[in-house]
Structure 1
């Protein structure tokens, strides 16, 4: 391994880059204060440029070491994209890109293994979360149509149209002012309106949102099993694998019952 490759992979290098990411996060936050910038704007700008230069050198070194393999690693591409955005000019029509410099803070994800596991689990949970989002949209649509018919005439500001009803029910999902702003005014003209709204809250906020939690927890467990399998060199064991192993053991026990003679007799032994 070359000197450059050893330097790039050295733990001290990773810790130094991690420290610079944290420092850069602090400086970017300080730059939002006019009083701080009025007094320390020059040094903060120089420090920001220095940190960016270090990031560019680090990415260039990793490119030189890994070459095309660098772009086959999603996390490396992520780092490259963030640093490339930071290099874009932040003047004129592209001044909005100045705010995107804070994306450098996301490099903490690639430098901290625990954060990488969390993000990996969230990415793995996206397919399941997509199905749950579709279910939530169906629930919102069905209840919005019902609410528009039931309360649209008496509460046009909340349920006058289907679009307004969808927005109001989404507010109910977040439980923001659900009682004082929505349910109690509806009960002034519809005393039993609470049944409709409580049912919706139970279905959407408590049931569907808990499904989100279940999918994320399952993805986190799968990510943990994969990590443990990489450490031990054994493939991860799923619930289906355990059930198949249990069935195999049960079949072997049945065969032993039939093959072992009973003591003092000719019939099969009873275990």
Structure 2
């Protein structure tokens, strides 16, 4: 038992050391660059497979590359699972990566298991078609590739704006499709005999109204109904177009534009706070090093404005924020008084030096 305990302790210690090494490995820039490079190459291979000539001539090559990409993605997922444990699934991007890995494994393994006599040919074909649909999901990783590039800050802000606009746009889209369904029911009941091609069935009516989102062929639909004496359809078409296209669809654009403006304003505020923080740090360094106060450093009013903006963006209760604001305000006042004291001390030293120089001139030593 003692021997087993010693072996177990050494094994646990070795496993923890190995996990720490794996965690450091997954955090390395070289590891990220390697994965990003593989994602870029994989995306290029997926694009190349869309050309029939290339796919036929390089089928063996694409099969081999799929196996290589599968090994890389599985290894990445295993390393991150070991390093992060269940925290791996807290990142939405890791969830997407894990889903893509599962689909790739199924796409690679199932064709090897579905040999003749093991399962019916029809079920195998249906299953393969479903997996081929999920094969296109692999290209989603290229979006992560673009978002990880620091030089594309505008693309990151654009993506974050879409994410912030999601709840508002979702509510608008729900309202749009509710109106679409209501108009579909009304137009189907009124014009299914006048224009059976567009309003004969409920799903045909829904498709027709969905087509009207782009204002496509609405005049032809009106002319077809006019020929059979149903010219009053124009009122329903005008109401539908005004509500769906000019109101709700433009409301989606308005939400996006408003969030873009908010993003730009936040970006300017962050840049301004960064500039103030740099000036603050420079002022503190001058005081510590004993340099006199220079022109352009922040005044007490600037300190209070900076602290006020800084406290607003912090988490915590109002009491904690007030205490922190008071403490930092006192520190800023002490800093300002120290600057004044050093300036006055320098002036006093100059006065004393001038006094002694004058005394030596008036009363020279013999």
**TM-score, normalized by length of structure 2?**
0.54
Which among 132, 137, 157 is matched to residue 103 of structure 1? 137
Q: Which range moved further: 205-214 or 37-46?
A: 37-46
Query: CA separation in 1, counterparts of 2:270 and 2:25?
Result: 25
Query: For the Cα contact (< 8 Å) 2:81–2:88, is it kept in 1?
Result: yes
1:83 matches 2:116:
no
Structure 1 residue 226: Cα displacement: 7.5
What is the match of residue 223 of structure 2? 184
Matches within 5 A, 1:86-165: 86-88=104-106, 89-91=109-111, 92=114, 93=124, 94-96=127-129, 97-113=131-147, 118-148=158-188, 150-160=190-200, 162-165=202-205
Q: Which range moved further: 215-224 or 26-35?
A: 215-224
1:69 matches 2:87:
yes
Structure 1 residue 195: Cα displacement: 4.2
1:200 matches 2:276:
no
User: CA 1:10 to 1:203, structure 2 compared with 1: closer, same or farther past 3 Å?
Assistant: same
User: CA 1:65 to 1:116, structure 2 compared with 1: closer, same or farther past 3 Å?
Assistant: farther
Query: CA separation in 1, counterparts of 2:188 and 2:49?
Result: 48
1:52 matches 2:85:
no
Query: CA separation in 1, counterparts of 2:167 and 2:252?
Result: 11
User: CA 1:120 to 1:171, structure 2 compared with 1: closer, same or farther past 3 Å?
Assistant: same
User: CA 1:90 to 1:35, structure 2 compared with 1: closer, same or farther past 3 Å?
Assistant: farther
Secondary structure at the counterpart of residue 112 of structure 1 = helix
Which among 19, 23, 32 is matched to residue 14 of structure 1? 32
Greater C-alpha radius of gyration: 2
What is the match of residue 215 of structure 1? 255
Structure 1 residue 73: Cα displacement: 1.9
Query: CA separation in 1, counterparts of 2:32 and 2:267?
Result: 21
User: CA 1:131 to 1:152, structure 2 compared with 1: closer, same or farther past 3 Å?
Assistant: same
How many residues are paired up?
A: 236
What is the match of residue 26 of structure 1? 44
Query: CA separation in 2, counterparts of 1:230 and 1:76?
Result: 29
Unpaired runs of 5+ residues, structure 2, are 1-18, 115-123, 148-152, 275-309, 315-366
Query: For the Cα contact (< 8 Å) 1:225–1:236, is it kept in 2?
Result: no
Query: CA separation in 2, counterparts of 1:111 and 1:127?
Result: 25
Query: CA separation in 1, counterparts of 2:219 and 2:197?
Result: 16
Query: CA separation in 2, counterparts of 1:24 and 1:136?
Result: 38
Larger RCO, structure (CA 8 Å, separation 6 or more): 1
Structure 1 residue 144: Cα displacement: 3.5
Give me the CA root mean square deviation.
Answer: 3.5
Query: For the Cα contact (< 8 Å) 2:194–2:230, is it kept in 1?
Result: no
Q: Residue deviations 1:74-104, cap 9 Å, x none?
A: 2212211211211112424242314423322
Secondary structure at the counterpart of residue 176 of structure 1 = coil
